[in-house]
Chains A and B, each alone.
Chain A
Amino acid sequence: MSATTVPAAEPRTLAAPAGLLSDVAAITARSIRGILREPELFIFSLIIPVFFFVVQVGALGDVAKRAFGISSYAAFQLPISVLFAAASTSGGNALVLDITNGYWDKLSVTPVRRSALVIGTLFGEMFAVLGYSLVLLVFGYIIGVRFAGNDIVGALGLLGLTLLFGVGFAAVSIAVALATGSVRATQSTFIIFFPLLFLTPSAIQRSLMTGWFEKAVSLNPITYVVEASRSFLFGINGTVIAKGALAAALFSALTFTLTALAFRRRVRMG
């Protein structure tokens, strides 16, 4: 999109070029407002991770200590809950509703840069991921989970990793929303949650796994994100964290590419 200058002879309106940053800021603010005004979604996104956490820790906590040698199963499970919550955002749902009810068209006849409509939605999702993660970390702190080194450094590291993964996950449903314009298809992208988050060392360490399961888990990039997250709690290991960050970055790069392709398809007029 070129920066068109308005020739003097052209009849004037009040409209002026707004700039990409201004567009993104305006759309982001609207996304965040939308998220804050649906607190029921916020609560739903937190109940499932907390439920899993409580059940897992209650059922396996003592076994894990004796059989797997995990000193604190609560600390072992907390990053899983945080990643669960990060994967339950609804960016694509908000976008697909705009597309079906005509609001996307309404925004599209303004001079807004189309990319700002998607980037702003992604920023809104990052805000939600940050909110969920903070609530769960505070919850963990209250029940006694502590980070390995400095708590602030650990928390920031874990949040950063979670954000990188969460925004990548949100991009999948945004891509489906853009490509299909279908509410049902967009909602069903939630399915990929199961292989991505359960084919990981969610219950026990990878070193205790065998056979096909171990192979599948080792191929899943989210495995490395989980291991890096735990590293902030059980002893900071630079290599493990770097692998996790790389895995999250590659995952997000892949999903962003899908989003960009879907976006091009959506804005290529008719």
Chain B
Amino acid sequence: MSTAIQATDLVRHFGQVKAVRGVSLQVEEGEIYGFLGPNGAGKSTIVRILVTLLHPTSGSGSVLGHDVVTERTTVRRLIGVALQEAGLDPKQTGRELLTLQGRLYGLRGQVLPAQVSEVTELVGLTDAIDRRIQTYSGGMKRRLDLASALLHRPRVLFLDEPTTGLDPLSRALIWDRIRELRNRYGATIFLTTQYLEEADELADRVAIIDQGRIVRQGTPAALKAEVGADVIDVAVDEREAGAARMAIEELQASGELPRGELRGTETGYTLFVPDGPRNIAVLIRGLDRAGVRFGAVSVSRPTLDDVFLAATGGRMAEKAERPAEEEERTPEPVGGGAA
């Protein structure tokens, strides 16, 4: 297997803002690589560097051995890109947009209409393809954008948050298509997402990114195993939080509960312990004995969110809520009215 995507010490600053702070990664051919992180973590900036839209401040990147700065044109022929903002000209029909895209990739003759039909069918837009894009729903636009990224049978596909803002049905459909692409064409897929279940569902390997750095990398199973434990969530009221923490720490000190990471969350505490089913009983008895009032208690296998929590000390949703440190795309001032 050879390397499809390589990044070495990528750094990107926007003025004072350090959006990407030294990212190295390697994706093998045929892999689905999930790039997971909250809003503003630097995902889109890294994608924009790898797809030749942005220069790195330092470091280098390559696709199938071609440098993304010095061999831009070659890289552009090898990759297909669906960016986060599905920028599509609303005045064209789906077919016109795909045909234009295909011509820019140098497709001609019988190949062009054949490819347009093929990708249209693949994303399930055959019935709508001759309608103007302004009549499409958000999900249809995403699917059209995905289709346009596939026209020239790229070897490497970059999908920047392909399902953000989509309803569950559209999301499931896109997931199916992504799997099919890899299985049918053996394409390498670099996928960014802020949805943990998406990375878990699709990716062979996942990198977790926070504040411009990769904090964990591996297969979803290995990352979850790294947490090395089951996850017990216990909901406690704010007023009981201190007492609960004290009670749990006492249980750990006395050896009744094995030592494991204890993290405060928005709703209570998360405890990482082996053998969750046995220890949840110990925990409940202990809290009860200490007179701590608590709400729902649950035990689960670790999720990628737990990996994220263990690595960064915050849940992804909480991270995403605080104001982004970085504007991933310089927003263009949009004027009112007209046109």
Q: Which of A15, A37, A99, A181 contacts B77 (CB 8 A)?
A: A15
Tell whether, in the assembled complex, residue B106 and residue A106 are in contact, meaning their CB atoms are under 8 Å apart. Answer: no
Tell whether, in the assembled complex, residue A182 and residue B335 are in contact, meaning their CB atoms are under 8 Å apart. Answer: yes
Bound-state Cα–Cα, A106 to B86, Å: 8
Query: Contacts A99-B332, A270-B55: A14 and B91 contacting too (C-beta < 8 A)?
Result: no
Query: Contacts A1-B73, A15-B105, A182-B332: A104 and B87 contacting too (C-beta < 8 A)?
Result: yes
Interface string of B53-95 (1 = CB under 8 A from A): 1110000000010000001011011110101011111011000
**Central interface residue in B51, B71, B87, B155, by most chain A CB within 10 Å:** B87
Bound-state Cα–Cα, A109 to B107, Å: 16
Bound-state Cα–Cα, A11 to B156, Å: 10
Tell whether, in the assembled complex, residue A269 and residue B64 are in contact, meaning their CB atoms are under 8 Å apart. Answer: no
Decide if B323 is an interface residue (CB 8 Å cutoff). no
Tell whether, in the assembled complex, residue A15 and residue B152 are in contact, meaning their CB atoms are under 8 Å apart. Answer: yes
Decide if B334 is an interface residue (CB 8 Å cutoff). yes
Tell whether, in the assembled complex, residue B104 and residue A110 are in contact, meaning their CB atoms are under 8 Å apart. Answer: yes
Bound-state Cα–Cα, A104 to B55, Å: 17
Tell whether, in the assembled complex, residue B103 and residue A18 are in contact, meaning their CB atoms are under 8 Å apart. Answer: yes
Q: Which of B88, B107, B332 contacts A181 (CB 8 A)?
A: B332
Residues of B within 8 A of A184 (CB): 333, 335-336
Interface members, chain A 97-133 (any B CB < 8 Å): 97-112
Tell whether, in the assembled complex, residue B54 and residue A109 are in contact, meaning their CB atoms are under 8 Å apart. Answer: no
Interface members, chain A 65-112 (any B CB < 8 Å): 90, 93-94, 97-112
Residues of A within 8 A of B74 (CB): 4, 6, 10
A44 to chain B, nearest CB (A): 10
Q: Which of A4, A14, A23 contacts B71 (CB 8 A)?
A: A4
Interface residues on B, range: 35 or more
Residues of A within 8 A of B83 (CB): 102, 105-106, 109
Tell whether, in the assembled complex, residue B105 and residue A110 are in contact, meaning their CB atoms are under 8 Å apart. Answer: yes
Q: Which of A13, A18, A186 contacts B154 (CB 8 A)?
A: A13
Tell whether, in the assembled complex, residue A10 and residue B64 are in contact, meaning their CB atoms are under 8 Å apart. Answer: yes
Which of chain B's residues has its CB closest to A188's CB?
B335
**Central interface residue in B83, B148, B339, by most chain A CB within 10 Å:** B339
Interface members, chain A 145-195 (any B CB < 8 Å): 181-187
Which of chain A's residues has its CB closest to B57's CB?
A270
**A contact set with B: CB distance below 8 Å:** 1-2, 4, 6, 10-11, 13-19, 22-23, 26-27, 29-30, 33-34, 37-38, 41, 90, 93-94, 97-112, 181-187, 269-270
**B contact set with A: CB distance below 8 Å:** 12, 51-55, 64, 71, 73-74, 76-79, 81, 83, 85-89, 91-92, 96, 100-101, 103-107, 111, 115, 132, 145, 148, 151-155, 332-336, 338-339
- Sorted nearest first, the 10 A-B pairs with minimum C-beta distance are A102-B87, A184-B335, A183-B335, A16-B106, A102-B85, A103-B87, A18-B106, A15-B77, A15-B152, A110-B104
A sample of 9 more A-B contacts (CB under 8 A), given A97-B339, A183-B333, A269-B53, is A10-B78, A13-B78, A13-B153, A17-B106, A34-B92, A109-B51, A181-B332, A183-B334, A269-B54
